[in-house]
Each structure stands twice: as structure tokens, then as C-alpha cells.
Amino acid sequence: MTKFSKLFKIKDIRNKILFILALLVVARIAAAVQIPGVDSDKLRSFFADSSNQIFGLVSSFTGGGLDAFSIIMLGLGPYITGSIIMQLLTMIFPSLEQMYKYEGEAGRQKFNQYSRILTVPLAMIQGYAFLTLLSRQGVLSGFTAFGWINALVVIAAGSMFLMWLGELISEKNIGNGVSLLIFAGIVARFPTSLRQTLFTYSSSQLFTYIAFAVIAVIVIAGVVYLTEAQRNVPINYARRIRGSKVMGGVSTYLPMRVNNAGVMPIIFALSILLFPGMVANFLVGAKTAWIAGAGKFFSGLLQNQTVYGIAYFVLVVVFTYFYTAVTFDPKSISENIQKQGGYIPGIRPGTPTMQFLSHLLNRVTLVGAVFLGLIAVLPQIVRGFTGITSFTVGGTSILIVVSVVLETIKALDGQVSMYEY
């Protein structure tokens, strides 16, 4: 019996899969529920405008929720931004760092609760900024004061609802809930992009489309290879004799993944990159001339593909190092190795081991950070060479899809293995 067939033969795993699929369907239904009082034609023309490409990119992560002006139009953006802020605060406030790193599961639950609370004001702020921007474009028709309050409450509630769905999915231990919801949003846009590509197909572009397909295969293979790549650090354990028992004396290794941070740096970078564009567009309509001028300047600067690509690349590299530093602590790992009587061959236990792991981590992370940065800006490169804009290969979307699929397969494999012993 194959493991795939066991997924649906084992009742507990089957129920978990069906439950997660049901929640993903609920999220897709919510993405289709539009907030009333919107001029749909003007909304479509707003997102079709090339100067608003960044909003189109964000909309792809909500599965079209943003350009449909749905109740979950902001997606998981406020929650992700709140998580980033809380992670940054651990570097400023030692009490938060103590709570997150050293108080176990109870501390992490309390830390996550603060992130959830922070999501509400962030959703209100982002929602207000986006509503103001759309109002100036004439997309919102006849919004009264009550309509504004109602829309803001619905937008914030939609973000909290989506966050709740993500946590329900995570509780089933089959992949990360946030990643799976973003994955579902990206996949939901796939048929539309494919249809647009087929409609614009011309026989004169046959060679371009073949090159496009080859690039797609190479990118997917590269993403899979580097996502799974790791550096194994050998660890030996000293032999200990307790009474008549001989303990230890074994050799193992510490896996250090090239892409230790996963897809989170790209998601973080995109969330941060959205803010300047939204604020700049918000300031364009200001009554004060110099504020409006500054808004136009920064808005035009962010629409420059070169500037946007460089900023995106740098943010991804920075967040890769930041997220790796949060999830992989050489100091605590070296202490645990020393307590268990282990050592790295040729390296003294304690501080030298910590310094060795830190040095190695920086070198390995550099490869992963540059890889993530190149993947993030790959759509602009492919678009420049092929001229195909309706169906973009690589970038954030393909990395998230591949990473989530691999992560989910590993989680399901682990679930099946539990029932084999």
C-alpha cells in the first residue's frame, strides 16, 4: 500500500485533510464577497493601470481579494506586518526576547497573542489608507460616514477571520496555515493568468513561448534543489560509562539548510514594500503642495522597475538574515551540544563552537539570501527578455507554491509514519 493511498485510508489523517480543504474553500468564498458601494468598472481600470502594479502583486496573494474589493481584501498582510513588528521588538526589549525564546510554548503563545492584538489597528490603518486612495480615484461611490466606518470594521474583521482560519489549519499539523492560505490564493489566480496568455498567443511568438516554458522548468528545478539543500555539520558524542551501561560514542550531524528561512523573507519584504507605495499614493491628493509633490516623487520612484527591483532584492536579503537569526540561535545550539557531551571535530566545545556555527551560518545564509533575492526579482527579468506580462514565471509565487507543496508533503509523510509504528 502506497503512502498516498494511506492518507485517505487512515481516518484521522483523512479528516484533517478534508477539514483543511473545507477551510480553503471558505477562504475562496470570502474572497468573492464584495463590500457594497464600489464602482466595479473603475475598480478594474485602477488595477489595470500599469502605475498600480504593486497593488496587483499584493492582490495575487489574496487570490484576487484586493482587486475584487472583498471582505478579505487585505488578506494576511496586517497579521504578517504585526508579526514582523513583534519580532523586531524582541531586539529592543529583553523581556519580549525572554518570552519568545526561553519561556517555552506558553511564552510563544503569549507572544503570538500580542501579534494578533496588533493586527487589528494595523488592519484599520491599512484599510483606511486604501479606502482613501480608492475614493480619490472615484472607485467608491456615495460612501457616507457610516459607510466608511462599516467598511473599516468589515475589512479588519475579514483580516482577523482569515488569520483565525490560518491558525485552525496550523493546529492540524499539516503545513503552516498562513502559507497554505497564500498558496491557495496564488493557485486560484493561475487559471485566469493561463487564459490571458492563451488569448494573447500569436504564432510569431512560438519561440518566445518555448523559451518561456524552458525557463519555467529550470526555475522550478532550481527552487526545489536549493530549498532542499543543506550543509551537514558533523557532531561526535563522547562515550560515557554509567555502571554497566555504555552511553554515547555515536556520530551524527547538525543540518544547516541553505534556505533556512523558507518563504517568509519574501512575504515580509512584500509587506514592508507595500507601505511606501500606499503612503505615497495617499499623499498625492494632499492639499499642501509640497506634501503632494513629495507623494508624486516617491510614487514615481517606486514605479521605476529598476528601483523597485533593487529595493525588493535588498529587503529580501536583509529579512533572510533577520529571520534566520530568529529561528537558528548558534549560542543555544552550542550550549545544548556541550550539555549532551557532544563536540564538532576539530572545534572546542562552548564559545569556539558558537563562533564556528555563527561563521558557517553567515556563509550558508548568504547563498540562500542571494537565491531568494534573485527569485523575487526574476519576474522583471523574464518579462524583459520574453515580453510576456500576463503569465509570469518565477518570483514570489512559484517559490511559495513549491515550498508549500514540499512542506505539506513532508508533514503528510510524517503523519503517515506515525501510524506505521
What confidence category does residue 174 fall into, taking pLDDT thresholds of 50, 70 and 90? confident
Is pLDDT of 228 > 70?
Answer: yes
- At 151 the pLDDT is 84
What confidence category does residue 298 fall into, taking pLDDT thresholds of 50, 70 and 90? confident
Is pLDDT of 377 > 70?
Answer: yes
Q: What percent of the chain has pLDDT over 90?
A: 2
| 4-33: pLDDT as tens digits | 677 777 788 888 888 999 999 998 888 888
**Contact (Cβ atoms closer than 8 angstroms) between residue 416 and residue 7:** yes
Integer Cα distance of 230 and 313 in angstroms: 22
- At 249 the pLDDT is 62
Q: Give the Cα-Cα-Cα angle 20, 85, 59 (nearest 5 degrees).
A: 50
What confidence category does residue 107 fall into, taking pLDDT thresholds of 50, 70 and 90? confident
Least trusted range by pLDDT, from 41-45, 63-67, 166-170, 172-176: 63-67
Is pLDDT of 1 > 60?
Answer: no
Tell me which residue has cell 558557517. 360
Is pLDDT of 125 > 80?
Answer: yes
Could you tell me which residues come within 8 angstroms of residue 72 by beta carbon, excluding any fewer than 6 positions away? 27, 30, 31, 62, 65, 158, 159, 161, 162
Side by side, the strands of the sheet bearing 251-257 are 251-257, 230-237, 342-343
- At 389 the pLDDT is 52
Average pLDDT over residues 79-94: 82
- At 241 the pLDDT is 64
pLDDT, the chain, mean: 78
Between residues 389 and 196, the one the model is more confident about: 196
Domains and CATH numbers, the chain: 32-171 (no CATH), 196-421 (1.10.3370.10)
Helix (H) or strand (E) holding 235: strand 230-237
Is pLDDT of 263 > 70?
Answer: yes
**Contact (Cβ atoms closer than 8 angstroms) between residue 266 and residue 396:** yes
- At 243 the pLDDT is 61
Q: Which residues pair with 234 in a beta bridge?
A: 253
Average pLDDT over residues 262-287: 73
Average pLDDT over residues 224-253: 75
Please report, for residues 3, 269, 372, 386, the alpha-carbon distance to residue 379 in angstroms, rounded to integers and kept in the order given.
36, 16, 13, 10
| 331-355: pLDDT as tens digits | 888 888 888 778 888 888 888 888 8
Average pLDDT over residues 218-231: 81
Average pLDDT over residues 384-408: 67
Least trusted range by pLDDT, from 87-96, 290-299, 381-390, 410-419: 381-390
